[in-house]
Structure 1
Amino acid sequence: MTTAPILLAYDGSADADRALEWAAEESRGTGLPVRVMTVEDVQETPMVVSMRHGVPVAVASTVPEVLDRARTALTGAGVGVATFDHAVGSVVGELLEAAASASLVVLGSRGHAPASEMILGSVSQHVARHATSPVVVVREPRDPGARRIVVGVDGSPGSRAALELACRRAERTGGTVVALHGWYVHVPSTDVWSAVPRSLADEDERRRLLSESVAGVREDHPDVELELEAIGTSPATALVDASASASLVVVGARGRSFVGGLLLGSVSQSVLRHAQCPVAVAR
């Protein structure tokens, strides 16, 4: 079993606090340590230069206070082992480098731009796309009491990794896993000689794909309550709609090609932008 830490990107914003709570819960459930990282996007010094009446003024870094706040919060949340790092440089670059030795990266969907210049709105998108480890982007859920973990499934290796991540979390939290397969519905032909709704012709095939995709998971995680949903709408729309009543949406970093019906490279990005709950990108 891995002992690689959970990497928490933290800047003291409201979304970063939510990410801290998520990481703390994951740490308690898995026993993994937490590595907190705050990054100042400056090249030479942890002092930030601002302008006052047109004159450069050195402003002391707020990083020590931010890390102290994270330390206090994690201790109060019952996290046994945590380390705290302050990096100076490219926010995305520093986080991606640290992610290479992490079991999971957790960060808020948006941050703020204090002295640290850590703007997580763009950072979260870049890290989720390029990290080599799974990434969880935390935002306030629309339904705080939701216990459904929704997973985008298309039969690809990426979706299998997503389903495995969801089931492991459900085992710890007691939530229900919803395996959701959406597909692009072709518009029926307007030719009166062949006006057959092609979307109906492959519905059975789609449901069969979904059942086959979860067969092994049922065996590996017999105690997890698993529901199957096949919806004839675009995958991104199906997942975003389902996120309104979910505690977490899980997608693979990449799925099948467009010809296969589900392009998770773009779907995952759309879900990251529009989901109404935290999103995990599995690898």
Structure 2
Amino acid sequence: MTPPPFRRILVAVDASPLSQAATDLACRLSKRWQAPVDAVFVEDINIVRLVAHPFVHTISLAAARRQSADDTLIGKALELQAIAARRALDAALATTGGHGTFTVRRGRVEAEVLEAGQGCDLLCLGWSGRPDSRARRSRLGSVARAVSRSAAASVLLLQNPVTGPLFLWWDGFPPALEMAAALAAREGATVQVVVPAHDRIDGTRRGVEAVSALQELGVTAALHAVGRPAALPGTLPADALLLLSAEAEIVLDDLPCSALLVR
């Protein structure tokens, strides 16, 4: 019997809509694989330290004056965000019938997420980042980038709620293909294969081989596109989930959709 791809899932949470979407998806995967979900909310130590700086002030619009930053206000704001994130987790678990834990930590966000994720098979977090006005999408945030580079486990970066098709970026990394097959089998989805290649004939050959391998694993698959790596992200819809090797030669900022970096 093939072991489940995820035995334990970590989701990094805050009070943002994208965090809630990541929580919902983590709980869906938890239900599929009977894997517990560990949610972690990190109080950013950099914000806490910044408030303590003597030259940092807040501006009150109500009082129309500047005043020293109040660490109690920041603490209360972080507490309220943690409460909102906890409620989102509880609601998602109640919907899926899963189980999990919620932890609050304080420190550097990426370091705390990586430490909390030790022993997990999958780390889920929001794409975050600032909007790119030229591409009309957000650049990958610094925390997401650091975690995706340093995590020992696979990392799911959620840019948009995943409601669309499943894609496989096929560059010859078998674990990504096996993960795509496992997810497609549980979801009843078709795996759409995209092949980065400078030689279209060779890329098509490799794509057909990947489709055949997926079909041998019992899932429906089709060749979606073959082309230069820089051009392929433009063929992907925003609501899709793209599976690819964590070492794939691709600029994540170019992706319009969520990505699962497989290790």
Structure 1 counterpart of 2:207, which letter? L
Q: How far is the alpha carbon of 1:213 from its aligned partner? A: 4.2
Instruction: Give the structure 2 partner of residue 117 of structure 1.
Output: none
Instruction: Give the structure 2 partner of residue 28 of structure 1.
Output: 31
Q: 1:91 to 1:177 in 2, by over 3 A?
A: same
What is the alpha-carbon distance in structure 2 between the residues aligned to residue 243 and residue 167 of structure 1?
Answer: 19
What is the alpha-carbon distance in structure 1 between the residues aligned to residue 204 and residue 186 of structure 2?
Answer: 28
Please state if 1:95 is matched with 2:118: no
Which of 203, 222, 231 does residue 237 from structure 1 map onto? 231
What is the alpha-carbon distance in structure 1 between the residues aligned to residue 29 and residue 179 of structure 2?
Answer: 12
Instruction: Give the structure 2 partner of residue 154 of structure 1.
Output: 171
State the superposition RMSD in angstroms: 2.9
- Confirm or deny: 8 A CA contact 1:18 1:139 kept in the other structure: no
Please state if 1:205 is matched with 2:222: no
Instruction: Give the structure 1 partner of residue 71 of structure 2.
Output: 58
Q: How does 1:31-50 map to 2 (within 5 A)?
A: 31-42=34-45, 49=52
What is the alpha-carbon distance in structure 2 between the residues aligned to residue 71 and residue 44 of structure 1?
Answer: 24
What is the alpha-carbon distance in structure 1 between the residues aligned to residue 45 and residue 239 of structure 2?
Answer: 38
Instruction: Give the structure 1 partner of residue 188 of structure 2.
Output: 174
1:199-258: CA deviation from partner (whole Å, max 9, x where unpaired):
xxx433332233334544432x22x11112452x322421x123216621111112xxxx
Q: Return 5+ residue gaps in structure 2 as ranges.
A: 59-65, 131-139
What is the alpha-carbon distance in structure 1 between the residues aligned to residue 25 and residue 244 of structure 2?
Answer: 18
- Match of 1:24, SS? helix
Q: 1:65 to 1:245 in 2, by over 3 A?
A: closer
Please state if 1:136 is matched with 2:156: yes
Identity score, percent: 28
Which of 125, 150, 157 does residue 107 from structure 1 map onto? 125
Q: How far is the alpha carbon of 1:44 from its aligned partner? A: 11
- Confirm or deny: 8 A CA contact 1:67 1:84 kept in the other structure: no
Q: 1:282 to 1:206 in 2, by over 3 A?
A: same
Q: How far is the alpha carbon of 1:136 from its aligned partner? A: 0.8
Which of 5, 12, 15 does residue 12 from structure 1 map onto? 15
Is the deviation greater in 273-282 or in 13-22? 273-282
- Match of 1:235, SS? coil
Instruction: Give the structure 1 partner of residue 134 of structure 2.
Output: none
Please state if 1:122 is matched with 2:128: no
**Could you state the TM-score of these two structures normalised by the residue count of structure 2?**
0.78
Paired residues in the alignment total 237
What is the alpha-carbon distance in structure 2 between the residues aligned to residue 39 and residue 110 of structure 1?
Answer: 15
Q: How far is the alpha carbon of 1:76 from its aligned partner? A: 3.2
- Confirm or deny: 8 A CA contact 1:151 1:163 kept in the other structure: yes
